Structure 1
Amino acid sequence: MGKGMALRTGFKAAFEQGYQYAITIDSDGQHMASDLPVFIDKIEKEPGTLIVGARNMEQSSVPGKSSFGHKFSNFWFWFETGVKLPDTQSGYRLYPLEPLYKMKWFTRKYEFEIENIVRASWKGVKVDSVPVQVYYGKERVTHFRPFKDFSRVSVLNTILVVIAILFIKPFKVIRSLNRNSIADFFKKYVFNRDESDLRKTLSVMFGVFMGIVPIWGFQLIVGITLAHLMRLNKVLFVTAAHISIPPMIPILIFLSYKAGGMVLPNGKDVLIFNRDITLENVKADLFQYTVGSMLLAVAAAVLFGLITYLLLKVFPAKQKLNTEISS
């Protein structure tokens, strides 16, 4: 069954019997039942919180490999959620059952403890910690299989990182925007008189270009570095580079492939998947997409550059005219 499946089964049964919370404790003897009141006090002050018992992993009795895994897991949890926890691997936890009951889980073994705190945080559940004692004695027995389970956790973290970068973080930014914040953004970065209109336009153009060029996963890293060297507006660059947000990716790939087909002598209009696919076909399709994406990146950069430059010229002119009329 696995630890994850056991927890999932227990949570489901507890919620269906009317319980609001469940406390889990590892069976290897490292946790102290005397720490239970700490969880109770915390949940009374902050109802609905998922609470993790944070162990002191720096004490001498803790094995070095456990301390390393602890830091490794903490870093990736922070990267995926933006939440800093001192101990993301502790099995001593208090779970709010209702939000977990409504979610569909994918893991069944040790890695479930990572999946549930990351995805709970994504769903808006507050994840916090309380300090707990830890005991690592010689008689401690664990069923954790270092290679297999660490590999599972690593694969899971890779998937969660990709989801966080492509979906969670962009949509979080979009949801945080409102009319006032958008207006403030334009005043601060677009209509800022400290920078020339040309520099702002070039920043947008370069952002759009880097957002489309086929170096997926490295666009922002490379782009921000180059934007810094070229003294461009990095905020406008990053904003424009988000032309490749997830909903736009299929459209950009389609347009890139079509653009490549228009200029290459043996280009195809439509990408067709069939049983006759060969390595040569894959290479040809990839080359067509690459050529097309470069053309699309240039064309889109020029188009957005023209629009940006015109907007920068028109709106300040209107503002100046309104000021003169009012005076």
Structure 2
Amino acid sequence: MNKSDLVVLIPTFNESQRIGSVVSAIRDHGYSVLVVDDGSSDDTAEEARRFGAEVLTSPVNHGKGATLTRGFDYFLGKDHPVLVIMDGDGQHDPQELDRFLEAMNSPAADVVVGNRMQNPEGMPWERRLTNRLMSWVISKLAGQTIPDSQCGYRALKREVLTEVALRSRRFEIESEMLLEAAKAGFRIASIPVRSVYGGEKSQIRPFSDTCRFLRFLILYFFRENFSKKHKVS
């Protein structure tokens, strides 16, 4: 696979101040960009288009999971074999896209997740703590070691998206994606990545996100057990 085989998907919500530079940097590295804007009230969509991204828009905000799912459906309507997901706020470094592509060329990886925990410098301590806990739980459930299950910077082969069924409409989709991929027999690898934490207010709220994560796990557990019992009967 080469650069033309990979598309970068960016879900956005009110990122007009940063999305232009992010799209520009990705395109400078030779990759195509698909921005799915989730009902922004600013000029995010216009800025993304101005810097060369293909853009899908929504009149209202649906949540990250719903936005990613829309991007997945659009991606599957094309013929690219690899999709990389990254944030539009500048936290993910486009220079690392080449390393994702290199990892995806390995037959031992169907999903590649960025690992910020190998060098968590600059990551707020409360985020570091909750992330380690969530990653430990997801690794146990998936039966594979995933050091940073909550990192949104990740790559997936086309086959993964055609096989897994995703239901989450918000941030929980990042955990669901890994659990469903592992359940389907796909191999999950990790590569170290660097995240840039600026002074802007984060959309991540450790306490509420942990509660939402626990709720997701409970619902996922019951859903899986119900499905198994239904198949048996």
TM-score in same-fold range (> 0.5): yes
TM range (shorter): 0.5 to 0.7
Instruction: Assess, with a 3 A threshold, how the Cα gap between structure 1 residues 134 and 43 changes in structure 2: closer, same or farther.
Output: same
Query: Does structure 1 residue 7 correspond to structure 2 residue 58?
Result: no
Q: Write out per-residue CA displacement over residues 70-99 of structure 1, whole angstroms, 9 at most, x where no aligned residue.
A: 111111112211111111110000012333
Q: Write out per-residue CA displacement over residues 273-317 of structure 1, whole angstroms, 9 at most, x where no aligned residue.
A: xxxxxxxxxxxxxxxxxxxxxxxxxxxxxxxxxxxxxxxxxxxxx
User: What is residue 196 of structure 2 aligned with on the other side?
Assistant: 135
Which of 118, 137, 142 matches 1:76? 137
Contact between 1:51 and 1:129, CA under 8 Å: does it hold in 2?
A: yes
- Between the aligned residues of both structures, percent identity stands at 26
Contact between 2:130 and 2:206, CA under 8 Å: does it hold in 1?
A: no
Contact between 2:123 and 2:197, CA under 8 Å: does it hold in 1?
A: yes
Report the 3-state secondary structure (helix = DSSP H, G, I; strand = E; otherwise coil) of the residue aligned with 2:105: helix
Contact between 1:80 and 1:161, CA under 8 Å: does it hold in 2?
A: no
Which of 182, 189, 204 matches 1:144? 204
Unaligned 5+ segments in structure 2 are 1-61
Instruction: Assess, with a 3 A threshold, how the Cα gap between structure 1 residues 47 and 7 changes in structure 2: closer, same or farther.
Output: farther
Q: CA deviation at 1:162?
A: 5.2
Unaligned 5+ segments in structure 1 are 172-245, 251-327
CA RMSD of aligned residues (A): 2.8
Contact between 2:109 and 2:188, CA under 8 Å: does it hold in 1?
A: no
CA distance in 2, matches of 1:22, 1:44: 13
Q: CA deviation at 1:59?
A: 3.7
Query: Does structure 1 residue 53 correspond to structure 2 residue 111?
Result: no
Q: How does 1:228-307 map to 2 (within 5 A)?
A: none
> Which structure shows the higher strand fraction?
2
User: What is residue 87 of structure 1 aligned with on the other side?
Assistant: 148
Give TM-score, length-normalised by structure 1: 0.47
Q: Write out per-residue CA displacement over residues 33-91 of structure 1, whole angstroms, 9 at most, x where no aligned residue.
A: 11111101111122761110111365442111111111111111122111111111100
Q: Write out per-residue CA displacement over residues 144-175 of structure 1, whole angstroms, 9 at most, x where no aligned residue.
A: 344544322211122334567x589xx9xxxx
Give TM-score, length-normalised by structure 2: 0.65
Which of 78, 85, 91 matches 1:24? 85
CA distance in 2, matches of 1:130, 1:25: 14
CA distance in 2, matches of 1:62, 1:130: 17
User: What is residue 106 of structure 1 aligned with on the other side?
Assistant: 167
Q: Count matched residues.
A: 172
Instruction: Assess, with a 3 A threshold, how the Cα gap between structure 1 residues 60 and 39 changes in structure 2: closer, same or farther.
Output: closer
Report the 3-state secondary structure (helix = DSSP H, G, I; strand = E; otherwise coil) of the residue aligned with 2:149: coil
User: What is residue 218 of structure 2 aligned with on the other side?
Assistant: 158
User: What is residue 180 of structure 2 aligned with on the other side?
Assistant: 119
